[in-house]
């Protein structure tokens, strides 16, 4: 399954809201879609699993939604620490592929 | 929560075999899907493969059958071998595990800090 994330880069200011998209090449029948935050030199941080469930410690400013082939990660009221690269990953079918990432940068 | 610590050679030559080992601390070893991920410089994340405590494995076909993942439950470790290396295999390699045993759908919660492996003649 190919996951396509858009946009490739998103330039926003702190306080604004962000919407990141992840589209699957075929339907994820179980909606096992995960979102991570990745910063340079660090391991990825798990944010969301099962498309919409926040992992422990994920602020409620982060929300996931979607099903089938279209998924979104929404971040409200961006804080400086939120600027990073975001990846989606699917666990419906092996190989458990990642999207190519969305770079959320400060405008 | 699982703690992971990885080690292995960081500089290899083309055609050689990468060998990395990841030690698991803090949780019982059994039941988890122990996973390898990599990130080439300037690129995105790539799922390499996984193994469980019984030795059942899955790997990414894009790596052309060059992947061997093994487990040693006696010392709570799992390992990755990647053969016939080329420069394209240069990447930061991570070992990781899901949040709960048997629950890869919950995403990869625990990660080590990653090891840069460079393939160069």
CB pairs under 8 A between A and B: 66
Task: Note the pLDDT tens digit of each residue in A44-56.
Answer: 999 999 999 999 9
Q: How confident is the model at residue A103 (pLDDT cuts 50, 70, 90)?
A: very high
B89 touches chain A (CB under 8 A): no
| CA separation, residue A33 to residues A13, A46, A67, B91 (Å) | 27, 11, 9, 24
pLDDT of amino acid B102: 86
Instruction: Enumerate chain A positions whose Cβ falls within 8 A of a Cβ in B.
Output: 30, 32, 34, 36, 38, 42-44, 46, 48-50, 55-56, 87, 89, 91, 94-101
Q: What is the pLDDT of residues B77-104, one digit of tens each?
A: 999 999 999 999 999 999 999 988 888 9
Contacts of B1 (CB under 8 A, 6+ apart): B26, B27, B99, B109, B110
Nearest CA in chain A to B59: A95
Neighbour-count burial of A29, counting CB atoms closer than 10 A to its CB (0-12 exposed, 13-18 middle, 19+ buried): exposed
Taking all residues of chain A, what is their mean pLDDT, rounded to a whole number?
97
Q: Which two tokens stand for residue A2?
A: 């190919």
Asked if B46 reaches chain A (Cβ–Cβ under 8 Å), the answer is yes
Q: In this predicted model, which residue has the larger pLDDT, A5 or B55?
A: A5
């Amino acid at each position: 399954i190919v996951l396509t994330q858009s946009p490739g880069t998103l330039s926003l200011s702190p306080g604004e809201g962000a919407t990141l998209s992840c589209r699957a090449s075929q339907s994820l029948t179980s909606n096992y879609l995960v979102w991570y935050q990745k910063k340079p030199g660090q391991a990825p941080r798990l944010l969301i699993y099962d498309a919409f469930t926040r992992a422990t410690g994920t602020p409620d400013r982060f929300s996931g939604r979607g099903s089938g082939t279209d998924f979104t990660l929404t971040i409200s009221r961006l804080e400086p620490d939120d600027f990073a690269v975001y990846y989606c990953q699917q666990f419906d079918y092996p190989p458990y592929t990642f999207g190519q990432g969305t770079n959320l940068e400060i405008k | 929560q699982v703690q992971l610590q990885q080690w292995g050679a960081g500089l290899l030559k083309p055609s050689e075999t990468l060998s990395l080992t990841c030690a698991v601390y803090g949780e019982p070893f059994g039941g988890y899907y122990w996973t390898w991920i990599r990130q080439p410089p300037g690129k995105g994340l790539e799922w390499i493969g996984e193994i469980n405590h019984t030795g059942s494995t899955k790997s990414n076909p894009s790596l052309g059958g060059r992947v061997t993942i093994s487990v040693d439950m006696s010392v709570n470790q799992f390992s990755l071998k990647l053969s016939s290396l080329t420069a394209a295999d240069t990447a930061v390699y991570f070992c990781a595990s899901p949040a709960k045993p048997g629950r890869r759908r919950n995403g990869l919660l625990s990660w080590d800090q990653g090891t840069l492996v460079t393939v160069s003649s």
